[in-house]
């Protein structure tokens, strides 16, 4: 789906997040602890390099604009998902099949939600898009 210029950078980052989720899911389905460790290391690296900044950008620009436009439920759902993903990223057992699979499932569901619902609503609201454009998001 073609995204507005204001949401395109966030949408492109979703592609990388889905790729990471796929890798985590593949590692979770193996019996090789070395693959679990490698997947957990990639997840941690991506969290530091881009995922945390991605969440922060949405929380700084997009979510406040949506809240002002009366879409508090979407905002709350997004914040809950961000919090859950952050907890998984900090989990002591990240390099285990159960937590890797939980991360894969949660990240996939989160990206689908944002792309199919959150961003669609944002793009339908001129005030939200104007706020994103003004913020330089």
Query: Would you say residue 34 lies in a domain?
Result: yes
Q: What is the pLDDT of residue 1?
A: 63
Give me the mean pLDDT over the 50-54 stretch. 96
Query: Both tokens of residue 71?
Result: 């879409």
Query: Would you say residue 1 lies in a domain?
Result: no
Query: Would you say residue 68 lies in a domain?
Result: yes
Q: How far is CA 29 from CA 37, 41, 54, 110, 111, in A?
A: 13, 17, 27, 21, 21
pTM for the structure as a whole: 0.94
Residues 95-105: tens digit of each pLDDT: 999 999 999 99
Question: Helices 8-28 and 97-113: crossing angle, nearest 10°?
Answer: 150
Query: Would you say residue 108 lies in a domain?
Result: yes
pLDDT confidence of 2, banded at 50, 70, 90?
A: confident
Number of domain units in the chain: 1
Query: Would you say residue 5 lies in a domain?
Result: no
Query: Would you say residue 50 lies in a domain?
Result: yes
Q: What is the pLDDT of residue 55?
A: 97
Q: What is the pLDDT of residue 137?
A: 59
Give me the mean pLDDT over the 104-112 stretch. 98
Q: Which domain does 91 fall in, by range?
A: 16-135
CB count in 10 Å sphere of residue 125: 17
Query: Would you say residue 27 lies in a domain?
Result: yes
Query: Would you say residue 10 lies in a domain?
Result: no
């Amino acid at each position: 789906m073609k995204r507005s210029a204001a949401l395109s950078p966030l949408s492109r980052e979703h592609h990388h997040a889905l790729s990471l989720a796929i890798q985590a899911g593949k590692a979770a389905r193996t019996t090789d602890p070395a693959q679990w460790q490698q997947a957990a290391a990639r997840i941690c690296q991506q969290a530091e390099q881009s995922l945390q900044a991605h969440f922060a950008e949405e929380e700084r620009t997009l979510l406040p604009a949506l809240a002002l436009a009366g879409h508090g439920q979407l905002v709350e759902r997004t914040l809950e998902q961000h919090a859950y993903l952050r907890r998984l990223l900090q989990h002591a057992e990240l390099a285990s099949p159960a937590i890797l699979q939980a991360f894969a499932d949660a990240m996939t569901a989160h990206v689908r939600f944002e792309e199919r619902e959150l961003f669609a609503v944002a793009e339908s609201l001129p005030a939200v898009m104007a706020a994103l454009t003004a913020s330089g998001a």
